[in-house]
Amino acid sequence: MATRTRTEGPDAGEARAAKARLRAVIAAERRELADVLGGLSADQWDAPSLCAGWRVREVAAHMSMGFRLTLPRTLGELARSGGRLHRMTDRVARRDAAAMTPDALVAALRENATHPWTPPVGGLAAALGHDVVHGLDITVALALDRRVPAERLRLVLGGVDRRSLRFFRSGLEHHALRATDLDWTLDGSGSAGALEAPAQELVLRAFGRGPSR
């Protein structure tokens, strides 16, 4: 009996190629952020970030939590926090930031540049958003001259919708959003006005951060 060979359709091949490109973009963002962190002074590591209550070191510890904790350990930490995700991530970030040296925090990000971790929802695009936004939490707070490449900003903004604007308490869920430096727009709902700003500023605002400094 002849065997039937399964052939991959063009759509499946394109989807796989798109995932590979997105993984490469994520890895590049992590490596670049590791370079930034590697050049910080002791004072900068202890400076406040855009994440309320977190210094730069807590943000860095949080960024690598998904790489360092296995799923069973993560579930155990979640149980210890009464099933409250935000309480768990805050507690673990503070604990790990106190226990790990800056060099260890940098290595945790650099050595896991290609780690397949993704947030509970959103897949690879959400993983990129996680890295980009928390990177901005550090670089903007420290007034560092780093601009996220336009391609990455476009990918992050591509995941922004009314639901995510509400989830991150941006206060923009009824506003139209328009990037002034790349081709991206989100139509508004209701009578709220439009916010026009550079894409990097829109990313910060969409994820619940105030206007960049």
How far apart (Å, rounded) are the C-alpha atoms in residues 3 and 185? 50
pLDDT at residue number 114 = 97
Q: Which residues of the chain have pLDDT under 50?
A: 212-213
Type and span of the H or E element at 178: strand 176-179
Could you give the maximum distance between any two Cα atoms of the chain, in Å? 72
CA 16 to chain CA centroid, nearest Å = 22
pLDDT at residue number 136 = 98
How far apart (Å, rounded) are the C-alpha atoms in residues 99 and 129? 26
Residue 137's contacts (CB-CB under 8 Å, 6 or more residues apart) are: 49, 50, 51, 54, 59, 209
pLDDT at residue number 212 = 47
How far apart (Å, rounded) are the C-alpha atoms in residues 199 and 33? 19
pLDDT at residue number 11 = 79
Q: What letter represents residue 158's amino acid?
A: G
